Amino acid sequence: MIKAILVFNNHGKPRLSKFYQYFNEDMQQQIIKETFQLVSKRDDNVCNFLEGGSLIGGSDYKLIYRHYATLYFVFCVDSSESELGILDLIQVFVETLDKCFENVCELDLIFHADAVHHILSELVMGGMVLQTNMSDILARIEEQNKLQKQEAGISAAPARAVSAVKSMNLPQQIKDIKLPDLPQAIKDLKF
Amino acid sequence: MALKMVKGNLERMFDKNLTDLVRGIRNNKDNEAKYIAQCIEEIKQELRQDNVSVKSNAVAKLTYLQMCGYDISWAGFNIIEVMSSNRFTCKRIGYLAASQCFHPDSELLMLTTNMIRKDLSSTNQYDAGVALSGLSCFISTDLSRDLANDIMTLMSSTKPYLRMKAVLMMYKVFLRYPEALRPAFPKLKEKLEDPDPSVQSAAVNVICELARKNPKNYLSLAPIFFKLMTTSTNNWMLIKIIKLFASLTAIEPALGKKLTHPLIELISSTSAMSLLYECINTVIAVLISISSGMPNHSASIQLCVQKLRILIEDSDQNLKYLGLLAMSKILKTHPKSVQTHKDLILACLDDKDESIRLRALDLLYGMVSKKNLMEIVRRLLGHMERAEGSSYRDELLYKVIEICSQGSYQYVTNFEWYLTVLVELILLESGSRHGRLIAGQLLDVAIRVQAVRTFAVNEMATLLETYPVTAAPNGTMQEVLYAAAWIVGEFAPHLDGPERTLAVLLQPKPVAGHIQAVYVQNALKLFAHLVGEAVRQRDGAAIERHCQMLAEGLRSYLSSADIEVQERASSVYFLVVLLRESLGGGADQQHAAAPVTDGGLLELTPDVPGEPGDGGGEKARVAPDEPVAIGSSGGHYPGAAWDEIEQIATDLQGLFGSELNPVAPKAQRKVQLPEELDLDEWINQPPPSADASSADGGSSDEDKFPLFLTDGGRGGGGGERETNGGGDGSRSYKRIEYTQEELDKMRQARLLEQTNNPNYLKPAKTKKASGGDYHQQQQQQQHDCYDDIPIAEIALEVPLQIHSTKRSDKYLMDAERATRVFVGKSGGRKEKGDKSGKKSKRRGKKSKRYSDESDSESDDPKPLHVVNTVIELPEGAILSDTEDKNNADPNDPHRALDIDLDAPFEDDYPQEMKRKAANQRSVMLLRDGDGQTAKTNRNPADEHQSGGTTTTTADSKHRSRRRGTAAATDRSDEQQQQQQMDGGGAGREKQKKKKKSAGKERPDEADAIMLMIDEETPAKGRTTKEKEKRSKPPKDGVAADEAVEDGDVKEKKKKHSKKSSKHHHHHHHSSSSKKSGYEEMPAQSLGGVSKDAI
């Protein structure tokens, strides 16, 4: 069973938090903070497994994580999951994100947290792995997005237009434009 | 209508959407909290509007804020509103928010039951999918019970996407509502062979989770899993199956032989490292399970260990970690094969990666032997000095202690060494969180290893003197002072310089109150010892000196803010005063000193906080505690002062005289209740009801309900205290007054009982003046075999500072030297021993026991000291671990899921009924179904007459009955209404169904009917099966029977044909069921038949 899936950036800012066991909001924030502290002090060339997450679970649980550019993807799992299997799953998750957002970067996760949740829910359900085949996952996501677009139809058009106008007015938009050298751009931004 | 919508949209345009919110937060970095508070206000406004789109936009924003740490449960009702929207977009947002903020205890969940049910049966598979995803995060017991049938229906949906999700969902249902497992299991099993690989994978996943905690119930599925393993290509599923086999093979070693071949094939064919690793793991599990019976397999284990060594030496840190992890599994059963790789594991201790270091530490635990313990600990200590990070150092410290103390110190041969290590740990890691643990170890060793006691006591005295008390923020290392003080006091006769240690104890130190209290108490013990010594030597001056020292030293404790310390200090203080007075009364010359003491007392009393008043008051307070003091305060002594002093000294020592034996941790619990003792009986008649006492408002609580009624009785001949409350005559307790004779008789009886009672710590039979002698005697009595234990020389000069080379190293060097000598000497002897010595050894005397042991354990070093393993336990009780296992984590939902799934279904029916009667609230919907079919089963004639329709009517009956019971439970009105509506629906369905069954045609699209049939599947499948079986026996049975029951058989055959046709129908509906599922049943159902036939 997977107990929690956390995504946060190099500064510990949460980008996605999914707990499959109930914790109240304060506790969740504390878990994210402590997990970040545990994970962030580790070099990149050490192993991807981490024990001693005393906060979540206990001895049966371990943290399995991957670090991509500015983001940490951390899965907290119990002993019924295969360590290397979960590492592969993280890879599938990130690749799926990459396909859905076309070259995913941290900003995609920031502005589309809901979409990321929907993608994740096609991989993992209630702490159990649902699907590991990426083409199946992408097909499901595609179908649901189509459904959503159909529903939006004409009625949502004005809202979208206004939204676009609103976006144009904001100077911030310029900052958020994807630049060729994205990792650098992200580094310059302070989160 | 359209206009309204457009208007709504226009208004909505200017609301913030999620992107605006995120951007806003990023733009308002400096006053984020304020900005978000403002946003939440806006969201509240939006939630008040009727437009669902506006609401869902608000809820989407709330979901984002939830991730940022804001509580959004206040919007729970709005979230449910959004969930119930018809639009997929909104539904998705709603269920996402719900999955993030709802939890099984949310009260709002009871509003969602019917909405979720509707979503689950939606024609759009993604509506149901989203609902399942959301539900999986917050499903409660009530929801599980109410929705179990709906989810089970989805398990046989035509859409693989829903089947897959429903199968996974069932696991969550089982956790919350274990009763669902039994009826759902056949279907779950069926899904293992689903045509869709994702559904298969989900079913494997669920069964693996179930089997992880209760593997034995799933052994019968092994053939199916075996088939899957050899045919499937889905790596994820293979990993799960292989992991499952690893746990199954532990309880069924025969499985292992079959597994080895396909596993090895997989290992050679797969390119996925994850799968490869799990294969290796399971091979290890198989080998362990096989080889645990026979020793010959250790070669293959050796091979595995070799392979793991390659993994550990790999440059990939992940593989290194996993190699160590797998190694620890082998270690549990084959420690010897792992021990040969000690070098590698010790090298891993220096790895830069903490995870790997921790794994290596775990391995060390199982690798120690008597021979290498000292060396390993030395390396760990050296490692600890260099290691960074206090938590890791703490972990190291913990491991050192764990390694040494395992199995009642079975690997520790020299306890002086161990104590030295402990002291080194104390000085090395002052900020540790494990102070209490070390303290426990110190006490344990000092109490249980008598031979090392003298060393321990003096070591502790030094520790008390030199330990730098600093206020560590969250460390608990101070606790060791607690242990040190206790050891020093309790075993005072072993001390080299008791006076000096007494002075150390009396020095005020900034330690915690409970430690100070122990200081005071043990200062008294030391004092008692010192006075005892002085009295024996008739040294009045020494006594006076000790008294002076104690009285002076207690000053700071008397004014302690800690009430416990203060109280103990003042008790001790007045004890000293008493002694000095009697001393003063005896020796005429020292009369002058007495007033000074009194003056000291008078001086002191104002210092005592919380005890205002003059010295006279103080004395009065003391008086009842020390009745002798009243007599002595006058100073009228009969001449025999020494006798008096001697008496006091022996009394003082008597307070701490008896030996403390270690008591088993569960001893108290194991004390058996004497037959004549009835704990429910009143010891004293209960006091009259409370209204009597309400009259006297002034009396305190203790007056009203005296806690210690026996106190008065203990007053002996004191018959003057008739009532407890003093003033209030409203209640008087009957008090039996004993005459002196009776008291004596009772005392005799009590003493007799005490001598026969093994739980009573008896005082020594021969009491001697010297405490030291007494202790030794006691030891000798208990451990007659003690003489043959070599007692190492005591290091009298304990160094005050730590040397650069550790003190504990000395023992290692000694040991090494000793083994060298030993090997050199015993070279010849050993050869002899091997050839001819065995026989002679067998008949060796008891005193040879140790050498015997050491020889058999391949020249392990001799233990220098022995741990006292005699622990006090009540008669007839034995120490066992079984209790602990039984009550391990009572909250684990898997405990309830330990159900024997192969047992015949009807067997537990009566039990169910009983339980239902006992607990009407937990209506068992699913089991109700079984009950109904079981009943029809028992009435074959009836069923026969009504033929194929019976089940359907029973079905609807059962349905309506369930509605009734469900409504009876105190649910909300809304739900009741809904239930009734549903009931109506069910009625309609029933009619439809009757029509259909009359026509003998059941088209596939009749979803409602499918629902009902599927509900019955598990039970019916079995019952029809059994009926088939029952009709068979006459065929293969005795001929006579056949003749008699001929007609009956014909009837039954008819029924059989009908049944099987129905059976067929049923199969037709559940698209994925296969015949093979039924072919596996005969054995079980036969069992059921024979019972039924009887």
User: Hey, are the CB atoms on A14 and B92 less than 8 Å from each other?
Assistant: no
Q: State mean pLDDT over B161-174.
A: 94
Domain C-terminal end among B530, B553, B585: B585
Q: Record the tokens describing residue B773, joined without a space.
A: 């002698």
Greatest mean pLDDT range, B509-523, B845-859, B882-896? B509-523
Query: Which of B325, B328, B337, B324 lies closest to B291, judged by CA?
Result: B337
What gap in Å lies between CA B178 and CA B1018, rounded to an integer? 16
Q: Angle CA(B509)–CA(B510)–CA(B516) in degrees, nearest 5?
A: 70
Q: What is the pLDDT of residues B934-974, one digit of tens each?
A: 443 444 444 444 444 434 444 444 444 444 444 444 444 44
Tell me, yes or no, whether B848 lies in a domain.
no
Q: Are residues B377 and B472 in the same domain?
A: yes
User: Hey, are the CB atoms on A130 and B168 less than 8 Å from each other?
Assistant: yes
What confidence tier does B490 reach under pLDDT thresholds 50, 70, 90? confident
The H or E element that residue B384 is part of is: helix B373-386
Q: How many CB atoms lie within 10 A of CB B444?
A: 17
Q: Record the tokens describing residue B768, joined without a space.
A: 């001697």
What gap in Å lies between CA B718 and CA B907, rounded to an integer? 68
**Which of A71-75, A185-189, B147-151, B225-229 comes out lowest in average pLDDT?**
A185-189
Q: How many CB atoms lie within 10 A of CB B264?
A: 12
Task: Please give the residue of chain B at the shortest CA–CA distance from A167.
Answer: B20
Q: How many angstroms separate the CA of residue B395 from the nearest CA in chain A?
A: 10
Q: Angle CA(B1077)–CA(B1081)–CA(B1086) in degrees, nearest 5?
A: 160
Contacts of B277 in chain A (CB under 8 A): 82-84
Tell me, yes or no, whether B822 lies in a domain.
no
Q: Is B1041:B1048 a contact under the CB 8 Å cutoff? A: no
Q: Which residue has the higher pLDDT, B687 or B705?
A: B687
Judged by CB atoms within 8 Å, which residues 611-650 of B form the interface with A? none
Q: Are residues B375 and B451 in the same domain?
A: yes
Q: What residue ranges do the domains of chain A occupy?
A: 1-149
What confidence tier does B528 reach under pLDDT thresholds 50, 70, 90? confident
Output the domain CATH number for residue B516.
1.10.1240
pLDDT of residue A154: 54
Instruction: Number of A to B CB contacts under 8 A, please give it.
Output: 181
Three-state secondary-structure class, residue A6: strand
Query: Which of B428, B416, B422, B424 lies closest to B403, judged by CA?
Result: B422
**Which of B494-503, B642-651, B691-700 comes out lowest in average pLDDT?**
B691-700
Contacts of A159 in chain B (CB under 8 A): 9, 12-13
User: Hey, are the CB atoms on B104 and A131 less than 8 Å from each other?
Assistant: no
- Residue B449 pLDDT > 50, yes or no? yes
What gap in Å lies between CA B262 and CA B259, rounded to an integer? 6
Judged by CB atoms within 8 Å, which residues 357-396 of B form the interface with A? 358, 391, 395
Q: Is B3 on the interface with A (CB under 8 A)?
A: no
pLDDT of residue B749: 78
pLDDT of residue B1001: 44
- The count of domains in chain B is 2
Q: Are residues B390 and B417 in the same domain?
A: yes
- Residue A70 pLDDT > 60, yes or no? yes
Percent of chain B with pLDDT over 90: 13
Question: Nearest CB to A84: which of B60, B205, B274?
Answer: B274
Q: What is the pLDDT of residues B818-846, one digit of tens each?
A: 666 655 554 444 444 344 434 444 443 43
Tell me, yes or no, whether B605 lies in a domain.
no
What confidence tier does B707 reach under pLDDT thresholds 50, 70, 90? very low
User: Hey, are the CB atoms on B318 and A22 less than 8 Å from each other?
Assistant: no
Q: How many angstroms separate the CA of residue A146 from the nearest CA in chain B?
A: 10
Domain C-terminal end among B585, B618, B639: B585
- Residue B47 pLDDT > 50, yes or no? yes
pLDDT of residue A115: 92
Q: Is A107:A15 a contact under the CB 8 Å cutoff? A: no
**Which of B739-743, B752-756, B763-767 comes out lowest in average pLDDT?**
B763-767
Sign of CA dihedral B838, B840, B845, B851: negative
Q: Are residues B477 and B560 in the same domain?
A: no
Q: Are residues B521 and B540 in the same domain?
A: yes
Question: Nearest CB to B22: which of A110, A156, A158?
Answer: A110
Query: Which of B86, B72, B134 lies closest to B109, judged by CA?
Result: B134
Q: Are residues B530 and B410 in the same domain?
A: no
What confidence tier does B281 reach under pLDDT thresholds 50, 70, 90? confident
- Residue B910 pLDDT > 50, yes or no? no
Total number of residues shown for chain A: 191
Q: State mean pLDDT over B724-735.
A: 43
Q: Are residues B441 and B518 in the same domain?
A: no
Which residues is A76 bridged to in the sheet? A4, A63
User: At B663, phi and psi to the nearest 5?
Assistant: -115, 140
Q: State mean pLDDT over B900-929.
A: 47
Q: How many angstroms separate the CA of residue B317 from the nearest CA in chain A?
A: 5
Q: Is B6 on the interface with A (CB under 8 A)?
A: yes
**Which of A155-164, B250-259, B557-566, B609-618 comes out lowest in average pLDDT?**
B609-618
Q: Are residues B524 and B554 in the same domain?
A: yes
Q: How many angstroms separate the CA of residue B7 from the nearest CA in chain A?
A: 10
Q: Are residues B412 and B449 in the same domain?
A: yes
pLDDT of residue B763: 53
Q: How many angstroms separate the CA of residue A79 from the nearest CA in chain B?
A: 10
User: Hey, are the CB atoms on B89 and A82 less than 8 Å from each other?
Assistant: no
Q: Are residues B398 and B428 in the same domain?
A: yes
Three-state secondary-structure class, residue A35: helix
Question: Nearest CB to B133: which of A47, A113, A121?
Answer: A121
Q: What is the pLDDT of residues A80-98, one digit of tens each?
A: 889 999 999 999 999 999 9
Q: State mean pLDDT over B491-517.
A: 85
Burial of B180 (0-12, 13-18, 19+ CB in 10 A): buried
- Render the burial of A119-131: b for 16+ CB within 10 Å, e for the rest: bbbbbbbbbbbbb
Q: State mean pLDDT over B507-527.
A: 85
- Render the burial of B462-492: b for 16+ CB within 10 Å, e for the rest: bbbbebeeeeeeebbbbbbbbbbbbbbbbbb
Which residues is B893 bridged to in the sheet? none
Q: State mean pLDDT over B901-913.
A: 51
Q: Is B795:B455 a contact under the CB 8 Å cutoff? A: yes
The per-residue DSSP string of B552-610 comes to: HHHHHHHT-SSHHHHHHHHHHHHHHHHHHHHHHHH-GGGGGHHHHHHHHHHHHGGGSTT
Q: Are residues B492 and B508 in the same domain?
A: no
What confidence tier does B697 reach under pLDDT thresholds 50, 70, 90? very low
Task: Please give the residue of chain A at the shortest CA–CA distance from B321.
Answer: A47
Q: Are residues B492 and B506 in the same domain?
A: no
Total number of residues shown for chain B: 1094
Q: State mean pLDDT over B980-1009.
A: 45
Number of helices (H), then strands (E), belonging to chain B: the values are: 55, 0
pLDDT of residue B553: 87
Query: Which of B1090, B1074, B1073 lies closest to B1082, judged by CA?
Result: B1090
Structural domain including B374 reads 368-496
Query: What separation in angstroms does the CA of B365 have from each of A60, B30, B361, B376, B442?
Result: 18, 52, 7, 10, 20
Report ipTM for this prediction: 0.85
Query: Which of B295, B308, B317 lies closest to B340, judged by CA?
Result: B308
Three-state secondary-structure class, residue A62: strand
What gap in Å lies between CA B693 and CA B710, rounded to an integer? 21
What confidence tier does B265 reach under pLDDT thresholds 50, 70, 90? confident
Query: Which of B132, B130, B179, B178 lies closest to B155, judged by CA?
Result: B132
User: Hey, are the CB atoms on A159 and B171 less than 8 Å from each other?
Assistant: no
Q: Which residue has the higher pLDDT, B493 or B1060?
A: B493
Q: Which of A47, A74, A131 to mutate to test the interface with B (most CBs of B within 10 A)?
A: A47
Query: What separation in angstroms does the CA of A63 have from each of A51, B83, B156, B784?
Result: 6, 33, 36, 54
What gap in Å lies between CA B936 and CA B587, rounded to an integer? 102
Q: Quickly name the fold that domain A1-149 has.
A: Beta-Lactamase (3.30.450)
Query: Which of B158, B155, B153 lies closest to B192, judged by CA?
Result: B155
Query: Which of B565, B590, B456, B574 lies closest to B515, judged by CA?
Result: B565
Average pLDDT score, chain B:
69
Q: State mean pLDDT over B917-943.
A: 41
